């Protein structure tokens, strides 16, 4: 028997949607409640990006696992859909505004909102204000941006916890996503968390702040350039002799993993949430 995340978090009826909403195994319930780092007694809403929901649901579950170990009460609104970034970046601002309005309504309230994606967080923080400028939602959008955090910055800046008792033995290198570095100004937070993972040796790659080449629709519209940028990033990662290529953004890792598998390169991509949930 399996439970959806709706059942787990809210004890409601089974949800038959695909992705994150339909993959919550009953065994996770026991795991999530073990070994809290501290009694935070904090309610946290989570936003799960489209591609993680559909392609990498384990990242979402591991984020929940870590948040609950920190003592947070995690809430998942199954009505949530997309942050609106794909439509906005493609130039469909009217359609994007409709999706963004739904996001605002889905995440109303005063709780912190945590997402395993700097790309989505950066979009909400930096571009919602432009979409809703001089509108009745302007102040609400400002408050939303103040409550929304990328996973690593929430752990380090808000919860002020860096050690989760994780262990992963091997050598790793870290990729700074453009959204994390430039839109969310995240640099040290993931490195602080990784430095506390037992058995993990972190080595910086050359040109670590250079784009991986994904960029959403950029990878489709400018495929040769995108592939060349992925080649550069993977080559730099391999030159560190790392076994793991880690990032806060699964979109970057999805792009890089495609290149890695095509070239049969000997390196494994991992989201930060997967690393922090390892070994316990």
* Residues 6+ away with beta carbon under 8 Å from 146: none
Taking only the tens place, the pLDDT of each residue in 24-46 is: 433 333 333 444 455 567 999 99
Q: Name the CATH topology of 162-276.
A: Rossmann fold (3.40.50)
Residue ranges covered by each domain of the chain: 5-157, 162-276
Task: Tell me the whole-structure pTM to 2 decimals.
Answer: 0.86
Mean local confidence (pLDDT), 159-178: 97
pLDDT in tens, 52-111: 999 999 999 999 999 999 999 999 999 999 999 999 999 999 999 999 999 999 999 999
Question: What average pLDDT does the structure give for the chain?
Answer: 88
- Residue 252's alpha-carbon distances to 28, 177, 234, 255, in angstroms, are 27, 7, 11, 5
Average the pLDDT over 200-219 and give the result. Answer: 92
Q: How confident is the model at residue 22 (pLDDT cuts 50, 70, 90)?
A: low
Lowest-confidence segment of 11-15, 46-50, 185-189 by average pLDDT: 11-15
Residue tagged 């990662």 (tokens): 237
Token pair belonging to 144: 């939303």
Cite the beta strand spans of 30-157 per DSSP E.
Answer: 42-46, 72-75, 112-115, 148-150
The C-alpha R_g of the chain, in whole angstroms, comes to 18
CB 175 within 8 A of CB 236: no
Q: Is the pLDDT at 280 greater than 50, yes or no?
A: yes
Average pLDDT over residues 129-149: 95
pLDDT in tens, 64-73: 999 999 999 9
Higher pLDDT, 149 or 10: 149
Task: Please name the residues in contact with 27: beta carbons below 8 A apart, sequence gap of 6 or more.
Answer: none
């Amino acid at each position: 028997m399996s439970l959806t995340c709706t059942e787990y978090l809210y004890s409601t009826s089974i949800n038959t949607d695909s992705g994150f909403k339909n993959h919550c195994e009953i065994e996770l319930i026991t795991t999530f409640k073990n070994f809290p780092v501290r009694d935070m007694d904090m309610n946290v809403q989570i936003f799960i990006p489209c591609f993680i929901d559909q392609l990498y649901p384990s990242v979402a579950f591991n984020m929940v696992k870590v948040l609950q170990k920190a003592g947070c009460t995690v809430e998942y609104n199954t009505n949530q859909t997309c942050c609106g970034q794909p439509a906005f970046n493609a130039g469909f601002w009217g359609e994007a505004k409709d999706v963004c309005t739904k996001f605002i309504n889905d995440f109303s309230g005063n709780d912190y909102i945590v997402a395993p994606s700097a790309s989505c967080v950066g979009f909400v923080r930096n571009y919602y204000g432009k979409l809703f400028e001089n509108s009745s939602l302007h102040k609400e959008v400002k408050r939303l941006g103040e409550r929304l955090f990328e996973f690593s910055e929430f752990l380090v800046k808000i919860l002020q916890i860096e050690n989760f008792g994780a262990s992963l033995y091997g050598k790793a290198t870290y990729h700074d996503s453009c959204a994390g570095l430039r839109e969310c100004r995240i640099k040290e937070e993931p490195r602080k968390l990784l430095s506390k993972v037992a058995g993990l040796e972190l080595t910086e790659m050359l040109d670590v702040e250079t784009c991986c080449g994904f960029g959403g629709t950029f990878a489709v519209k400018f495929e040769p350039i995108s592939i060349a940028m992925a080649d550069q990033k993977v080559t730099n990662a391999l030159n560190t002799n790392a076994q793991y290529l880690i990032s806060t953004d699964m979109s970057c890792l999805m792009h890089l993993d495609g290149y890695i598998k095509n070239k049969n390169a000997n390196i494994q991509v991992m989201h930060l949430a997967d690393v922090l949930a390892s070994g316990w």
